[in-house]
Structure 1
Amino acid sequence: MTKYEMGIDPNSCPIVSAIREIGGEWNFIIIRYLLENSMGFNEILRNAKGISSRTLSAVLKDLAGKGIVKREIISTQPFLVRYSITEKGNALRPIVNDLGNWGRIWITDKK
């Protein structure tokens, strides 16, 4: 038998479970930014081209709820929040880097 058995139930597959836990494309993009630096909400919004503030808020709430991102209130007057990557989120660094490399080689259109 191999490490990854054929005919495995997707609901018990650790790869499927990991993808479900991390979430969609915006989740990966936000994780990628936060792996580089902690950022405020508006800073992330400016960098993540095409995301709405409502979607960004939902993604950050989801990632914080999963323990991948930490939300820290810096100040209440004016209200400032910083988001940073947690130890759990930092464990995704090699995966995010490998996915980026794979995408550059195999998916990105060469113009």
Structure 2
Amino acid sequence: MLGGGPYLAYAIAGNAEIYTSTITNVNSFVEDREKRDINYGNEMSDDFSPFDLGLNFLVGYQIKKGWLLNFNYSQGIANILPKKQRVNEIKAINGAFQICLGYEF
């Protein structure tokens, strides 16, 4: 089985876990971990734009009676940086690879 087509997405919620390591002198460093919500919008203080647009690709195979194995790839084409952060050629786009095992009944 082969498939593909466009996708349109709108982010409603998200969170991030950020790890940092800082070297304080020659023999020591400090590690920090922060969890926070992601802010969606188009202002300088926002993390990402909520809208995304891209293409989906799918290759699938029926293994035995009813069992399916799919490989999916989604490639964003929209810049998801907030509009007020877009300078020069800086872009952020989404991409995802998925492996799915399913049963058709």
Report TM bin, short chain: under 0.3
Q: TM-score, normalised by structure 2?
A: 0.22
More helix by share: 1
Q: TM-score, normalised by structure 1?
A: 0.21
Bigger-Rg structure (1/2) = 2
More strand by share: 2
